[in-house]
Structure 1
């Protein structure tokens, strides 16, 4: 099925470093085979109690990226750099337009690396003097370290932005990417999201999550989308999906449900589509009651069948800030294996416990 060309931005590529492995093919194959990714955590290495997590198998930053420039690189930066590199190394990549001065990078995160921030602060408190710290690891304690390293590694010299938004960060980054294009600030945007596993994140989640979802295993990884104007589509980088609308709301407590429903309906209205047009709907699988609420709202607004057509992002564990980008990647991977998905509409939502709500509406394109 062909879709008319519009002036809306499109997604022309994606890749990921996930608990299924490195690259888009690894994630797509893992979804196809429904391979489990959860495993016991090495308690000695990670310094956590006996637990289970969804880790990127065998990921060691220096082994994946090489020894040059990675001696002090933390895990979340390594994941982000590896994901962007796997996208740029795909067949059909056009480095002239996907890097350089007219290419931007937007990275979604929760806090950057909680482990690096805590380790750096601890060394200042425990040292003989507050300034007895390793200057080589100081950049890791800054939230935008990963985005900066991605730009340095691959020569991305356009706008470089880090958005901290918890579970909603991936969709917030997608919205920001469309604004960069519409304002003429960039011709191409690499829209990425990354979340690492660490002892610091384990304990932060353990103490802050509350009793409603104590057993949800953490996940990690990074996903990146290539967002371009429709006019930039080439045979090598065909349009995979058209970004019809992104809408956001903020609400907590009893207001979360009506606000999320209003957010989804507003996005559908902006996209000029109806409930009957929605082929797939992907919730962010927030742990606990919020995740149940999100799935109920999507089922009510878009239909329960739509929520079952794409594997749940929770299969990868709690990937937090990387959820939205992984959800879109999983929608695109599923659509690529489903010929009937071409021309259909997909809805992706995010709901964060701090109140950030977001919804993106995509029209899937036939990239064959």
Structure 2
């Protein structure tokens, strides 16, 4: 049964370099604590960068037990644990019927480390087919989403979205369409990236040298559901009030970002004076200019942009950046006085020229 009511976010969680849950993330954001550090040489050998943002002591088996985790890669582990935490917060008991819960996950490639390991094994083994069979599923981009659905019995639609740094906002829009079409009653929507030597070296060579900021990892996840289906006792944290995406064709990214944000605000009927916070992934162009931040400051002013710290606190989380920024907005907004400024803008920009933005009415519709 389709629905036309606005999608809302009524719960969220995050496993990040700040710690294993939402509370740790919110405290880290509010204190503006930098969570990057030199990689542990005993755990992370042969990585090109001097600093990294990793989830402290994270190993899938430590959070999920030994059963079913022997061949689980890091990005799948982060995703499964985040989904476990969110379902626990919703008090959905293990084994409960979850046929109506969809799952949408954003990621860049899944696990680059799993892909590299399998490729190496196929080249160095006695024969090309002498590889560990259990390692093969981990090389598929939608492995993490599939693992989460199987682990938690989520039988609704299952999708993996890959759209560079705009992935998180595209995943939210995909979740909205699932709800509108009646494909799911509610959706767990998240984005995840792992830290690994393979991902570090891929980024190192893709950028032609050291990254502008440390690599980070983690998973941010949100419960998205129709506004008229939120049960009693669950608070609406934000309403998805608008979105826009486009591709910069003329090479002038500031113009594309400005056009996308202004178009979104116009369609939503929301003036810039009502935006309480505006945040992005702090995208830098090839000359090191903070293009994204500069546009947001021009549109909304320094106070609005500085209200929420940028994603550099936990490192570059690639496709998960936008959803971590949304989690940061909700962390800062909790208990904060906002007056007539009741909206937040989250933007995402990729170096391939893709641009996306989303508008959230904080605290739900009024």
TM range (shorter): over 0.9
Provide, for residues 58-102 of structure 1, a one-character-per-residue CA deviation record: whole Å limited to 9, x for no partner.
111111111110000000000011111111111x43469x96121
Q: What residue number does 2:76 align with?
A: 77
The counterpart of 1:250, out of the listed 247, 251, 271, is: 247
Provide, for residues 279-300 of structure 1, a one-character-per-residue CA deviation record: whole Å limited to 9, x for no partner.
1001112345577111111112
Q: Counterpart of 2:221 in 1: which secondary structure?
A: strand
Q: What residue number does 1:221 align with?
A: 218
Counterpart-to-counterpart distance in 1, 2:340 and 2:254:
31
Q: What residue number does 1:265 align with?
A: 262
The counterpart of 1:281, out of the listed 278, 283, 286, is: 278
257-266 or 147-156, which moves further after superposition? 257-266
Provide, for residues 177-218 of structure 1, a one-character-per-residue CA deviation record: whole Å limited to 9, x for no partner.
00111111111010010000000011011111136x634111
Provide, for residues 259-292 of structure 1, a one-character-per-residue CA deviation record: whole Å limited to 9, x for no partner.
1111111111222101111110011123455771
Q: What residue number does 2:58 align with?
A: 59
Structure 1 portions without partners, runs of 5+: 1-5
Q: What residue number does 1:139 align with?
A: 137
C-alpha distance 111-291 of structure 1, shift in aligned 2 (>3 A): farther
| TM-score, with length taken from structure 1 | 0.92
Deviation at 1:343, TM superposition (A): 6.6
C-alpha distance 124-223 of structure 1, shift in aligned 2 (>3 A): same
Counterpart-to-counterpart distance in 2, 1:50 and 1:295:
25
Deviation at 1:149, TM superposition (A): 0.5
Counterpart-to-counterpart distance in 1, 2:349 and 2:142:
23
Counterpart-to-counterpart distance in 1, 2:121 and 2:354:
33
Provide, for residues 25-44 of structure 1, a one-character-per-residue CA deviation record: whole Å limited to 9, x for no partner.
11111122332211111234
Q: Which has the higher helix share?
A: 1
The counterpart of 1:104, out of the listed 102, 110, 116, is: 102
Q: What residue number does 1:179 align with?
A: 177
Q: Counterpart of 1:89 in 2: which secondary structure?
A: helix
Deviation at 1:303, TM superposition (A): 2.3
Q: Say how many residue pairs are matched.
A: 360
Aligned-CA RMSD value:
2.2
Provide, for residues 10-57 of structure 1, a one-character-per-residue CA deviation record: whole Å limited to 9, x for no partner.
000000001111111111111223322111112343222461111111
| TM-score, with length taken from structure 2 | 0.93
Counterpart-to-counterpart distance in 2, 1:280 and 1:18:
22
Q: What residue number does 2:302 align with?
A: 304
Structure 2 portions without partners, runs of 5+: none
Q: Work out whether residues 124 and 133 of structure 1, in 8 Å CA contact, stay in contact via their aligned partners in 2.
A: yes
Q: What residue number does 2:353 align with?
A: 355
C-alpha distance 336-345 of structure 1, shift in aligned 2 (>3 A): same
Provide, for residues 237-270 of structure 1, a one-character-per-residue CA deviation record: whole Å limited to 9, x for no partner.
2110010011111126723221111111111122
Q: Does 1:156 align with 2:129?
A: no
